[in-house]
Amino acid sequence: MDRLKIVDLCVEIDNKPILKNFNLEIKSGEIHVIMGPNGTGKSTLTKIIMGDSNYHITRGDIYFNDTLLNDLKTDERARLGLFLGVQLPMEIEGVTNADFLRTALSIREKENFKLYPFIKKMEQTVEKLEMKKEMIHRGINVGFSGGERKKNEVLQMYMLEPKIVLLDEIDSGLDVDSLRIVGTSIMEYFEKNKPAILLVTHYQRLLNYIKPHFVHIMKDGAILKSGDALLALEVEKEGYEKVEKSKKTSTCIVKDFINHE
């Protein structure tokens, strides 16, 4: 059982506080969703967990199992089993997807890395995600549409088999078919590998395919409210402001997610 634990985390960028005493614990076999208004620090949270050096931790800790992540480099965190599917995957000219993934996997697997199974798995995953085969030989995300970029993130997740999966608005810019493919593929990966997943999204529609165990509402750098999947439905119906003020728990079974077994 793997566990990501964030304790009293305070983060700044250019002396501006982004996260304020943020706490969260995610275990293998759990899907957590973070929702919230724009500018509340959701995407920042995923980048901080992954070690983006633009952000400065002023207090608090991030643990992967018993390893303190605070001072580890991004690549060290990735090799421990963390993965971030970014909101706006960038274009990198000249570095092909295949070269990129082969390099990443050969570092992790060292002498156990085998080229043929790698190629076979990549081709199968490309087919599953209904991507064009030639895309794996193109520069990373070069000339890809928004949907293709998101599928490429999911392809990388399948290839790298992370234990902790952070997905930042993986549904943004997807048409209905791509949303279904991406959503079902993530869920299949979850069912097969049982990682811990932290999903940032604005829309309930992704949760038609990915079934969360916990939904958290985030505002001003902290979690305001937590519940199960029904909380996302309530947000969709009522909006953040009403949900934030609402005392009722009939449609939103608030759980203490930290104590969840």
Partner 1 sequence: MNKLIMENGKIISCPSGIKIQEIDSTLQIECCCDFSAELSFKKNFNMPILFLVQSGVKGEVFEYYEMGEKISYTYQLASFSELSLEVFSNSSKQNVQRIVYLKEEGASFNCKLATIAFKEEIYQYFIYHEAPFTKSFIRNHGVTKEEGKIDFQVSNFVKKGCFHSVVDQKNRIVNFSENLCTIKPNLFIDEYDCSANHSAYIGTFKKEEMFYLQSRGIEENLAMQLLLKGFLKEGMNTYFTQICKIIDTYWR
Judged by the rule CB under 8 A, the positions of this chain that interact with partner 1 are: 50, 52-54, 73-75, 78-79, 83-84, 86, 89-90, 92-96, 99-101, 103-104, 107-108, 139-140, 156, 160
CB of 159 to partner 1, least distance (A): 9
CB of 93 to partner 1, least distance (A): 5
Name which of 95 and 253 has its Cβ closer to partner 1: 95
**Of 210, 251, 218, 216, the residue nearest 233 (C-alpha):** 251
Name which of 131 and 217 has its Cβ closer to partner 1: 131
CB of 59 to partner 1, least distance (A): 23
Residues 6 or more apart from 4 whose CB is under 8 A from it?
Answer: 24, 25, 26, 27, 49, 62, 63, 64, 82, 164, 196, 198
User: What's the one-letter identity of residue 55?
Assistant: Y
CB of 196 to partner 1, least distance (A): 17
Name which of 1 and 90 has its Cβ closer to partner 1: 90
The span from the CA of 143 to the CA of 152, in Å, is 12
**Of 60, 84, 27, 80, the residue nearest 199 (C-alpha):** 84
Name which of 68 and 107 has its Cβ closer to partner 1: 107
| 3 state DSSP class of 251 | coil
